[in-house]
Each structure stands twice: as structure tokens, then as C-alpha cells.
């Protein structure tokens, strides 16, 4: 397994990382099976394990913590905070976001669930328009200096906010963000236009997630087949709603990509994983297996490299910078989501 520098942190991480979104109630509730998957990944040379407090309402972190006991020093342990632990619950508005108040508690809770004294990479899971980035960087810097966090990163931040954060860190003498974690796949290429060049310019490590686009790039969803709505797919139903033009376009693109994979002599899954790891800005591709069979199959793609002819054919099917279903970006900027931010108040017109 190839290892690559994680930005400018001095940490090296594997080309593939193990994501644990599906560990627990959201996917595979068998804790022993999940632990075996973690050990299989470590034995295969993966050293980066990525989780989040939100995944299965903290259950994923607990699974990871138990599984890495005795192997903690082998693992670059990454987790995230921002969301409330229970999706869809309004609850207390202060039990979420990127404020000092919430992140201080979220980090302590993650340390407890993970059973460790340090988090190697702590990422804010999404931007928070209600919190000044100076406030967020301030608390994360304090946690780094206290030894509870080794490095800090973002997830789902647009390019301009990555630049703003670098500017604020420099002028306010905070620890800067070291990484960004965006979605990236053959079907979700929007970050090629701005986020990936920005990461390269500022020396950020990039950990990409959903390289198989929630299963679309395994070839399991084809024309004429009904999509089974699992508990997780119901949470992210926009990724599978065939009433959306982007998802219908995926059905056509899967057929075209399957032909490319067949002619290249590789499984479509491996083609998709190799594509995600090819961009020079990408440090590590986070795998999201639900079963050990999924993991074993995905690990087999670790040494695959696509030649220029194959990459050109992929570009012809999904052009660079294109995201077939915009909702797959998983973050809508407030300026687009809230109509009040686009309309001048009546008394000022």
C-alpha cells in the first residue's frame, strides 16, 4: 500500500483509508464484524481510519475505539464534529455547529468514545455560517496546544472558505487547517474546478470520500432495476431519487463506464477507485465498505493505475469539473438555500 504525505503535517497516510460511516446502526450493526474489517484494513497497509461523532449517533466511534486497542500507534485516527448526533432532530441549537462551546464538548465526547488520549486529525464536518471562522480556529488551536488533537481539517468547505481560513489563521496566529475532505468520484467532479487547485496552492492534504458514489459506481444500479431503500439510503434519498435528472443521467453513465472497464479488463469498482486516487491533489481515498467482502474487493484496487486513454474516455463520459447530480455535493451554500439572502428587503428596494 502506497503512503503519501498528509499536507504539511509530517504525517504519512495510506493511499486508501478506511471510512466507518457504515459501522453501526447506519449499516452493519455487527461490532465484531466491523472490528475484523478494521484489522483486515490495517493488515493490508491502511493506516488512516476515518470516523465521525455523527455516524450512527456515536456508535461508529465506539466500534473503532474498541477495535484499535492494542494497535493505536499503527493508526492515524481521524474523526469529525459539527452535526447533532441525531440527524433530523431539532433539539438544542447549541448542541451542534463550530462554536467553541460545542467543539470543546464534541472533542471530549469523541475522545471518550474512541478510548484514546489524542485524535490525530480532527475535522469540522461542515461550514457553520453562524460561527466566525476565527472562533473555530481559536478553539481548535487551543485543543492542539493541549495535546488532544494533533492536526485539524475541514470537510465540505468551498474553496473561498478554505482561503479565508488560511488568511485568518495567519493573521490571528492560529493553527491552520491541514486538510480538506470533499466528496469526489467519476460522478462528482465539481471540486476539480476550485477546491483541488486551492488545496494544492495552500499545501492541504485532501481525503476524498464516496469514491463509488454511494454504490452507483459498483454497477449495482442499472436500467430497469429497483433501488432498495436501506436505512442509510433513506437518510440520503436525494442520491437515489430517479425523479432527479442527475440520477437518471447516472444510469446512462454507468452503462458507458462499464464498457470502458470491461475493455480495460478491470471491474467497474476498481476503475472508479483508481480514478479517485489519480488526481495529484488527492492524498487518500476513503473507502466506505459495509461488509468484509466489500473491503477485500476494494483493497484489490490499491495498485491499479489507469492509463491516459482510459482517463480520456472517462472524461468524455463525465467531463472534468462536472457533478451529475448537484445534490451529491452534500452541502448547499446558505446563499443558495435561503431565498432571503438573495432578495433585498422591501423597504430598501
State the catalytic residues: 55
Place of cell 466500534: 63
Compute the distance between CA of residue 349 and CA of residue 344 in angstroms, rounded to an integer.
Answer: 6
H or E segment and range at residue 287: strand 284-287
Q: Is 210 left (phi over 0), alpha (psi -120 to 50) or beta?
A: left
Mapped onto helix, strand or coil, the DSSP state of residue 192 is helix
Contact (Cβ atoms closer than 8 angstroms) between residue 135 and residue 80: no
Torsion (CA) 238, 244, 246, 251 in degrees, nearest 10: 100
Nearest residue to 276 (alpha-carbon basis) of 344, 219, 196? 196
Question: Buried b vs exposed e over 5-17: b needs ≥16 C-beta within 10 Å?
Answer: ebbebebebbbbb
Q: Which residues contact 177 (CB under 8 A, 6 or more apart)?
A: 137, 152, 153, 154, 162, 165, 166, 169, 204
Phi, psi (degrees; rounded to nearest 5) at 256: -65, -40
Compute the distance between CA of residue 142 and CA of residue 149 in angstroms, rounded to an integer.
Answer: 9
Mapped onto helix, strand or coil, the DSSP state of residue 138 is helix
H or E segment and range at residue 64: helix 59-67
Q: Is 267 left (phi over 0), alpha (psi -120 to 50) or beta?
A: beta
- Give the count of alpha carbons within 13 A of 14, CB side only: 25
Widest Cα–Cα separation across the chain: 65
Amino acid at each position: 500500500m502506497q503512503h503519501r504525505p498528509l499536507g504539511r503535517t509530517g504525517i504519512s497516510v495510506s493511499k486508501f483509508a478506511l471510512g466507518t460511516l457504515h459501522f453501526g446502526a447506519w449499516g452493519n450493526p455487527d461490532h465484531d464484524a466491523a472490528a475484523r474489517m478494521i484489522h483486515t484494513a490495517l493488515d493490508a497497509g491502511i493506516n488512516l481510519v476515518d470516523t465521525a461523532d455523527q455516524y450512527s449517533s456515536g456508535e461508529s466511534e465506539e466500534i473503532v475505539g474498541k477495535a484499535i486497542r492494542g494497535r493505536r500507534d499503527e493508526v492515524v485516527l481521524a474523526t469529525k464534529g459539527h452535526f447533532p448526533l441525531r440527524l433530523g432532530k431539532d433539539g438544542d441549537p447549541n448542541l451542534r455547529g463550530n462554536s467553541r462551546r460545542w467543539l470543546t464538548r464534541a472533542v471530549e465526547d469523541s475522545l471518550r468514545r474512541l478510548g484514546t488520549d489524542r485524535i490525530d486529525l480532527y475535522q469540522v464536518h461542515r461550514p457553520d455560517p453562524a460561527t466566525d471562522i476565527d472562533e473555530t480556529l481559536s478553539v481548535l488551536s487551543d485543543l492542539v496546544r493541549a495535546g488532544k488533537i494533533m492536526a485539524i481539517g475541514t470537510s465540505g468547505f468551498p474553496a473561498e472558505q478554505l482561503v479565508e481560513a488560511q488568511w485568518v489563521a495567519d493573521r490571528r496566529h492560529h493553527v491552520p487547517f491541514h486538510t480538506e475532505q470533499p466528496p469526489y468520484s467519476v460522478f462528482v467532479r465539481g471540486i476539480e474546478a476550485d477546491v483541488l487547485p486551492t488545496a494544492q496552492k495552500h499545501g492541504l492534504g485532501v481525503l476524498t470520500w464516496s469514491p463509488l458514489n454511494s454504490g452507483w459506481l459498483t454497477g449495482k444500479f442499472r436500467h430497469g432495476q429497483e433501488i432498495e431503500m436501506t436505512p442509510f439510503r433513506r437518510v440520503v434519498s436525494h442520491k437515489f431519487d430517479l425523479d432527479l435528472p442527475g440520477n437518471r443521467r447516472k444510469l446512462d453513465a454507468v452503462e458507458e463506464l462499464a464498457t470502458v472497464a470491461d475493455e480495460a479488463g478491470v471491474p467497474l469498482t476498481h476503475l472508479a477507485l483508481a480514478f479517485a486516487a489519480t488526481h495529484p491533489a488527492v492524498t487518500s481515498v476513503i473507502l466506505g465498505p459495509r461488509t468484509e467482502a466489500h473491503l477485500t474487493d476494494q483493497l484489490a484496487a490499491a495498485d491499479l493505475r489507469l492509463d491516459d486513454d482510459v482517463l480520456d474516455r472517462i472524461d468524455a463520459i463525465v467531463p472534468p469539473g462536472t457533478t451529475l447530480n448537484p445534490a451529491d455535493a452534500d452541502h448547499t451554500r446558505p446563499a443558495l438555500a435561503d431565498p432571503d439572502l438573495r432578495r433585498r428587503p422591501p423597504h430598501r428596494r
